[in-house]
């Protein structure tokens, strides 16, 4: 049974896959081998039938995409018609001297019966058909195809973003979004193919004119020279055969051109073309009534065909009356029925209040390919790597990044938000790369001048082909995904303390309970809010909380004497002194530090005592001079490639750390008791108050 099913499947596939090769071989045979007149009659009849089938399928299709194979059918039909022209030309030129039956009954019928045996009339009819096909139908359809293809391609990004917006808002599922994206792609492919297929039809019309002239001149020449016919006899026979051949080819060509024009001018609807015409063209009784009046007035003029005009006016007037009566019945029908009671508005709930994203990334529509993995976007993987690296460095799991498109942004813009507040934004160019000037380069680059959004360095957006030359000049070159990921990483490091909440602290405590259950039990005596503020204070001063065991031991030991977050934070910093110093200065034994002049330190101590719990208040002039001196000292340390560390007494460390946090961000403020015993201090500068 299984073998028979497999055999049936293979035979079915074989028959379906052999259709196209057989058709191509048949067309090639018609061009190379002489065909008897009976086969020409069969093929010409098939050609006309195929054109009629295509036209009717187009008319009864609800949408252009329902007949998506139409461009291919149009090409095949054009090739079949040209092959028939070649075959019929051979027969006409070889056997035309024997009479009008030489090329079969179809050509004879079109050449003799359709045009009345008069080749002049046939030539005029043929030229009219060619003009209608070439100048009117094909030219208009080609222009519409070109415009539709361009507009469809231009509208693709907006349609894709609308699908992504519906998907993100939960209006559609992933499968429906995938299907709608595929339909947009099929629509773009269809109109692009129609734009090209219309050129085949136009070329076929031109070929019909040339084939007619070649057959006519060649046939008359052969009849006169080779078969000793008189010029009038040769012209009569070969002209009728040639015109019949041309009409047999041009009528299917006109049908297919009309099909193409109908397809590209259609609007997607659940109705076919006939239903649309009836419902839209003949649905207005006013239009029919006015038409009846005008036609009736013309029919009353003496000398006009009164019967025809008055009969048509009566028909239009009757149709207008019937439509008016039907519309009145439709308008009256809903009044007789009691309208359904409106549903009461749904009561608001907490589900109507969307939560604020911890970390959000919004992109313009040209940056959508960066986050779309189906289009080769690498930004999602880069962001995942950033989260993993920061989580390992900081000591807690960084929240996921919620990515969405935003039509309000510029096409190349992106925006990073934390807790719903914009933290940074910039413009990137996916098709280019960013060449960053690290401080010393050996030439200039052509491109879009910009700045590195993460560190504010001068940069240029260059073409991808300039990458090697830019690196040779000393630039650091990165792609657009790396620019966004680096900017995101920098902002998350700066605001790491804002990303740590009670949920993350609880998770840290739960993980600690698995390895040190007694320590986690002792830590419960400390309020969760106090522990949260201590950890946030550490992160705010760029101190990782990876060593949660040492932090917990210090907090558990100090909870009995104080629950002040500042005091507990100072104890934790002392415990983490080696880790802090290794992060700043590496593993060397010597620590270059900047100290305060004793007189200045005494003034700061007095200010701290006078201010009490409110914190130290510095005189503005003194604060400005102190800031200037610290900034110069930090710059000198950076110039020689050494870290800038300000070493002060423990009571002054929190105050000075807040003082320089944003103004001199590269300066680290440590207290004396945070320096491990195995490190040696080397004073490189002393800051005075004068």
Residues 454 and 534 in one domain: no
Domain's final residue, options 212, 244, 274: 274
Give φ, ψ of 348 to 5 degrees: -65, 150
pLDDT band at 153 (very low <50, low <70, confident <90, very high): low
The crossing angle, in degrees rounded to 10, of helices 548-558 and 528-540 is: 130
- Mean pLDDT: which of 228-242, 263-277, 290-304, 548-562 is highest? 548-562
Asked if the structure places residue 354 within a domain, the reply is no
- pLDDT at position 89 is 77
- pLDDT at position 113 is 60
Q: In what order do the strands lie in the sheet with 476-479?
A: 448-451, 458-462, 433-436, 476-479
Work out the average pLDDT over 582-608: 85
pLDDT band at 334 (very low <50, low <70, confident <90, very high): low
Asked if the structure places residue 340 within a domain, the reply is no
The residues pairing with 363 across neighbouring beta strands, listed in sequence order, are 405, 414
pLDDT at 125 over 80: no
- pLDDT at position 491 is 93
Residues 262 and 130 in one domain: yes
pLDDT band at 1 (very low <50, low <70, confident <90, very high): very low
Report the CATH number at residue 482.
3.40.30.60
pLDDT at 524 over 90: no
User: Is the CB of residue 655 less than 8 Å from the CB of residue 608?
Assistant: yes
Asked if the structure places residue 650 within a domain, the reply is yes
Domain's final residue, options 481, 497, 513: 497
Q: Which two tokens stand for residue 2?
A: 């299984």
More confident residue, 429 or 96: 429
CA dist 317 and 327 (Å) reads 15
More confident residue, 39 or 201: 39
In the chain, the percentage of residues whose pLDDT exceeds 70 is 80
pLDDT band at 615 (very low <50, low <70, confident <90, very high): very low
Residues 220 and 293 in one domain: no
Minimum mean pLDDT range among 144-148, 405-409, 484-488, 637-641: 144-148
The crossing angle, in degrees rounded to 10, of helices 548-558 and 502-515 is: 100
pLDDT band at 611 (very low <50, low <70, confident <90, very high): low
- Our count of domains for the chain comes to 5
Report the CATH number at residue 639.
3.40.50.12790
- pLDDT at position 129 is 75
Residues 266 and 231 in one domain: yes
Asked if the structure places residue 427 within a domain, the reply is yes
Domain's final residue, options 497, 530, 556: 497
Residues 6+ apart with CB under 8 A from 262: 55, 58, 59, 273
Instruction: Write the DSSP assignment of 2-15 as a string of letters.
Output: HHHHHHHHHHHHHH
Q: Which two tokens stand for residue 683?
A: 């004073």
Residues 593 and 490 in one domain: no
Q: Does this model's pTM top 0.75?
A: no
User: Is the CB of residue 263 less than 8 Å from the CB of residue 140?
Assistant: no
- Mean pLDDT: which of 33-37, 113-117, 263-267 is highest? 33-37
Residues 507 and 489 in one domain: no
Instruction: Write the DSSP assignment of 576-618 as a string of letters.
Output: THHHHHHHHHTT-SEEEEEEE-HHHHHHHHHHHHHHGGG----
Q: Which two tokens stand for residue 544?
A: 């990782």
More confident residue, 433 or 347: 433
Asked if the structure places residue 177 within a domain, the reply is no
More confident residue, 430 or 259: 430
What DSSP designation does 399 have?
P
Residue 507: which of 395, 386, 385 has the closest Cα?
395
CA dist 580 and 320 (Å) reads 91
Residues 232 and 369 in one domain: no
More confident residue, 282 or 254: 254
CA dist 597 and 618 (Å) reads 16
Work out the average pLDDT over 454-481: 89
- pLDDT at position 17 is 57
- pLDDT at position 311 is 80
- pLDDT at position 354 is 74
- Mean pLDDT: which of 36-50, 347-361, 675-689 is highest? 675-689
pLDDT digits (tens, 9 = 90+) for 8-18: 443 444 455 56
Residues 422 and 506 in one domain: no
Minimum mean pLDDT range among 120-134, 401-415, 545-559: 120-134
pLDDT band at 483 (very low <50, low <70, confident <90, very high): very high
pLDDT at 130 over 80: no
- pLDDT at position 307 is 75
pLDDT at 118 over 70: no
CA dist 407 and 367 (Å) reads 11
Q: Which helix (H) or strand (E) holds 499?
A: helix 496-499
Residues 608 and 571 in one domain: no
Report the CATH number at residue 514.
1.10.8.540
Asked if the structure places residue 428 within a domain, the reply is yes
Work out the average pLDDT over 122-135: 73
Work out the average pLDDT over 237-261: 76
Residues 488 and 507 in one domain: no
- pLDDT at position 3 is 45
Residues 6+ apart with CB under 8 A from 6: none
Domain encompassing residue 288: 282-325
pLDDT band at 114 (very low <50, low <70, confident <90, very high): low
pLDDT at 498 over 80: yes
Asked if the structure places residue 167 within a domain, the reply is no
Residues 6+ apart with CB under 8 A from 678: 589
Residues 6+ apart with CB under 8 A from 48: 248, 251, 252, 255
pLDDT digits (tens, 9 = 90+) for 637-689: 888 888 889 998 888 888 888 888 877 778 889 998 888 888 888 888 888 75
Work out the average pLDDT over 53-75: 76
- pLDDT at position 460 is 93
pLDDT at 284 over 50: yes
pLDDT band at 606 (very low <50, low <70, confident <90, very high): confident
Q: Which two tokens stand for residue 340?
A: 């359904």
Asked if the structure places residue 24 within a domain, the reply is yes
- Mean pLDDT: which of 100-114, 541-555, 651-665 is highest? 541-555
Residues 415 and 403 in one domain: yes
- pLDDT at position 126 is 72
pLDDT at 587 over 50: yes
The residues pairing with 452 across neighbouring beta strands, listed in sequence order, are none
Q: Which two tokens stand for residue 283?
A: 């649905």
Q: In what order do the strands lie in the sheet with 644-648?
A: 667-671, 644-648, 590-596, 680-687
pLDDT, averaged across the chain: 78
Query: Taken in order 421, 427, 429, 434, is the CA torsion positive or negative?
Result: negative
Work out the average pLDDT over 23-36: 73
In the chain, the percentage of residues whose pLDDT exceeds 90 is 11
| Parallel, antiparallel or unpaired: strands 401-405 and 359-363 | parallel
Q: Which two tokens stand for residue 657?
A: 């750390």
- pLDDT at position 413 is 92
Residues 600 and 569 in one domain: no
- pLDDT at position 18 is 64
């Amino acid at each position: 049974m299984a073998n028979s099913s497999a055999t049936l499947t293979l035979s079915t596939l074989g028959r379906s896959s052999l259709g196209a090769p057989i058709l191509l071989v048949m067309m090639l045979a018609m061009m190379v081998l002489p065909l008897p007149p009976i086969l020409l009659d069969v093929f010409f009849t098939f050609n006309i039938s195929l054109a009629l089938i295509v036209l009717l399928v187009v008319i009864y299709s609800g949408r252009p995409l329902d007949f998506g194979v139409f461009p291919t059918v149009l090409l095949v039909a054009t090739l079949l018609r040209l092959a028939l022209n070649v075959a019929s030309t051979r027969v006409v030129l070889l056997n035309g001297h024997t009479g009008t039956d030489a090329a079969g009954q179809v050509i004879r019928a079109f050449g003799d019966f359709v045009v009345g045996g008069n080749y002049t009339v046939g030539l005029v009819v043929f030229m009219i058909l060619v003009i209608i096909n070439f100048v009117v139908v094909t030219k208009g359809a080609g222009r519409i195809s070109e415009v539709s293809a361009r507009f469809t391609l231009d509208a693709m990004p907006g349609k894709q973003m609308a699908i992504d917006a519906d998907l993100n808002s939960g209006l559609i599922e992933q499968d429906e979004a995938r299907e709608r994206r595929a339909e947009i792609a099929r629509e773009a492919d269809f109109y692009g193919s129609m734009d090209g297929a219309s050129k085949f039809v136009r070329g076929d019309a031109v070929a019909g004119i040339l084939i007619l002239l070649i057959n006519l001149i060649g046939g008359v020449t052969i009849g006169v020279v080779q078969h000793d016919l008189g010029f009038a006899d040769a012209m009569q026979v070969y002209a009728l055969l040639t015109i019949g051949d041309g009409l047999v080819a041009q009528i299917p060509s006109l049908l297919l051109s009309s099909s193409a024009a109908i397809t590209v001018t259609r609007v997607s609807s659940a109705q076919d073309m006939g239903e649309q015409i009836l419902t839209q063209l003949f649905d207005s009784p006013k239009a029919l009534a006015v038409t009846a009046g005008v036609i009736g007035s013309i029919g009353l003029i003496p000398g006009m065909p009164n019967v025809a005009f008055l009969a048509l006016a009566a028909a239009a007037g009757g149709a207008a009356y019937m439509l008016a009566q039907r519309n009145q019945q439709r308008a009256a029908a809903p009044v007789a029925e009691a309208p359904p009671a409106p549903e009461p508005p749904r009561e608001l709930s907490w589900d109507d209040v969307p939560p604020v994203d911890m970390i959000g990334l919004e992109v313009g529509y040209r940056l959508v390919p960066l986050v779309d993995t189906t289009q080769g976007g690498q930004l999602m993987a880069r962001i995942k790597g950033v989260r993993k690296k920061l989580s390992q460095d900081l000591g807690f799991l960084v929240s996921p990044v919620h990515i969405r498109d935003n039509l309000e942004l510029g096409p190349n813009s992106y925006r990073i938000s934390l807790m719903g507040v914009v933290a940074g934004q910039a413009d990137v160019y996916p098709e280019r790369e960013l060449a960053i000037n690290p401080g010393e380069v050996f030439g200039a680059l052509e491109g879009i001048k910009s700045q590195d959004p993460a560190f504010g360095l001068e940069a240029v957006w260059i073409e991808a082909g300039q990458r090697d030359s830019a690196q040779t000049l000393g630039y650091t070159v990165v792609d657009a995904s790396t620019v966004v990921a680096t900017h995101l990483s920098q902002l998350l490091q700066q605001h790491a303390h804002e990303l740590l909440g009670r949920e993350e602290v609880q998770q840290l405590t739960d993980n600690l309970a698995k390895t040190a259950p007694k320590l986690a039990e002792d830590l419960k005596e400390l309020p969760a809010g106090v522990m949260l503020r201590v950890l946030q204070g550490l992160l705010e001063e760029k101190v990782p909380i990876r060593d949660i065991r040492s932090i917990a031991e210090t907090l558990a030991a100090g909870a009995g004497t104080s629950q002040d977050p500042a005091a507990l934070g100072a104890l934790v910093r002392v415990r983490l002194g080696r880790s802090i110093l290794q992060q700043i200065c590496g593993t060397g034994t010597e620590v270059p530090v900047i100290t305060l002049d004793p007189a200045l330190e005494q003034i700061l101590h007095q200010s701290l005592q006078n201010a009490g719990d409110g914190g130290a208040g510095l005189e503005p002039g003194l604060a400005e001079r102190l800031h200037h001196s610290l900034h110069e000292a930090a710059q000198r340390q950076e110039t020689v490639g050494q870290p800038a560390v300000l070493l002060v007494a423990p009571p002054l460390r929190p105050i000075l750390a807040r003082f320089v946090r944003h103004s001199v961000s590269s300066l680290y403020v440590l207290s004396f008791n945070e320096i491990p015993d195995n490190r040696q201090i080397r004073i490189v500068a002393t800051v005075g108050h004068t």
